[in-house]
Amino acid sequence: MDPLLHSLFRPIQVNGCDLSTYYIEQKPSAALRAYVACYWESGSANRVVAENLAASCEDTALLSLPQEETMERVLPDGCTDILFEYDPVSKRQELSYCGTFTHPFVSARQAGSETRIFAVRFFPGGAHYFHGMPTHLFTGGHFRLEDIWPESIAFIGERILEAQDFNERVRIMDEYLNQLLLRQGTNDCDLMKNLLHRIFVGSGSMSVKELAEREAISERQINRKFRQWIGISPKKFSEVVRFQSVLRSIQSGDPLDWTELALEHSFFDQAHLIRDFRRFYGDSPLTAAKDFRKLSDFYNTRSKASAILKI
């Protein structure tokens, strides 16, 4: 893959506005940026985090941690993830691989739980370089990492469990993936790079037939490549990219004309936009706009807190 593709497609997740949790991201080293979108971590905000947040907010009453389950919306983005779910107190750990998914789902977390998730988010097509298996085998599911990863990764899990902070966990995983990449070697696929470039530049509006004509290959070949590298069909992946493009327009916070937005992203009309958006967000574009306003208010009024939530 080409790291320049990242500038054309930066998928969005709605994270960080729940004061009972934290969410952090960090970019990989330069050698991995063609394959890895980011490292991320989330978990329940412990008392130290809560106190740091309270120090930066005038309305500290908002920072009381609820004693019930909290929910986070997870959106389709064409990426796959390695997940290290761990409890630093009990030392329990679970390693899994999350394949590409095409529907939104809700991630539940019990307030007060010490469980955290440290993860590697692979850019679309990036994970295939490491596990070498057809990515469609993992679509829509979670799998035990030890069963599918080409090299033993249990010792990396142990090191991550013992790491002192997020930055150290990033360093451990980044070093491991760099070494694995060197040992595995890269088998670049120029066709996939070209196809992804066309899809990203067109914000997902180009049909599979047009892609095939531009690359002078059959639609069947394109479908086969996408099953191998991305895990879903080129049509479905393009729909996810278009959804993410609409989401970014909503996130910008600019006044929106829904009819104009629909035409800009190659929908037939506003109803088509709303119907398609609901498939991937689980709710209407108006709800998404409200969710982003909540995030914007959180970061704009809590500048010190945002440094804790995202780096």
Q: How far is residue 228 from each of residues 127, 192, 255, measured CA to CA in Å?
A: 11, 10, 40
pLDDT at 87: 83
User: Which residues, 6 or more positions from 215, have their beta carbon under 8 angstroms from its beta carbon?
Assistant: 191, 194, 195, 198, 222
103-110: average pLDDT: 74
Q: Which residues pair with 22 in a beta bridge?
A: 43
Rounded (10°) angle between helices 234-251 and 190-201? 40
In the predicted model, is pLDDT for residue 182 greater than 70? yes
- Provide the pLDDT confidence category of residue 148 given band limits of 50, 70 and 90: confident
Q: Determine the pLDDT at residue 12.
A: 87
Give the per-residue pLDDT at 4.
86
Give me the domains of the chain, ranges plus CATH numbers.
Answer: 3-186+296-309 (no CATH), 190-293 (1.10.10.60)
CA distances from 63 to 20, 72, 222, 298 (A): 7, 18, 50, 12
- 263 has pLDDT over 50: yes
Most confident of 89-93, 154-158, 171-175: 171-175
Q: Which residues partner with 136 through β-bridges?
A: none
> Alpha-carbon distance 68 to 37, whole Å?
32
What DSSP state is assigned to residue 144?
A: E
Q: What is the pTM of this model?
A: 0.83
Mean pLDDT estimate for the chain: 82
Confidence band of 73 (pLDDT split at 50, 70, 90): confident
Separation of alpha carbons 106 and 90, rounded Å: 25
Residue 203: strand, helix, or coil: coil
- Residue 232 CA to residue 136 CA, distance in Å, equals 6
* Residue 56's pLDDT band (cuts 50, 70, 90): very low
Evaluate if residue 28 carries a pLDDT over 60.
Answer: yes
- For range 191-214, the mean pLDDT: 94
pLDDT at 264 over 80: yes
Q: Where are the beta strands (DSSP E) in the chain?
A: 21-26, 36-44, 69-74, 80-86, 93-98, 105-110, 116-122, 142-144
Give yes or no for residue 109 having a pLDDT over 80: no
For the ranges 193-197, 248-252, 304-308, the maximum mean pLDDT occurs at 193-197
The token pair that represents 158 in the structure block: 């142990």
- The per-residue pLDDT for 141 is 92
pLDDT band at 112 (very low <50, low <70, confident <90, very high): low
Q: What is the pLDDT of residues 123-137, one digit of tens each?
A: 999 999 888 899 999
Contact 103, 76 (CB under 8 A): yes
CA–CA distance, 272 with 238 (Å, rounded to integer) = 16
Calpha distance 271→283 (Å, rounded):
13
Overall average pLDDT of the 229-246 stretch: 96
**pLDDT above 70 as % of the chain:** 80
> Tokens standing for 223?
């479908």
Using pLDDT thresholds of 50, 70 and 90, give the confidence band for residue 232: very high
Return the pLDDT at 59: 34
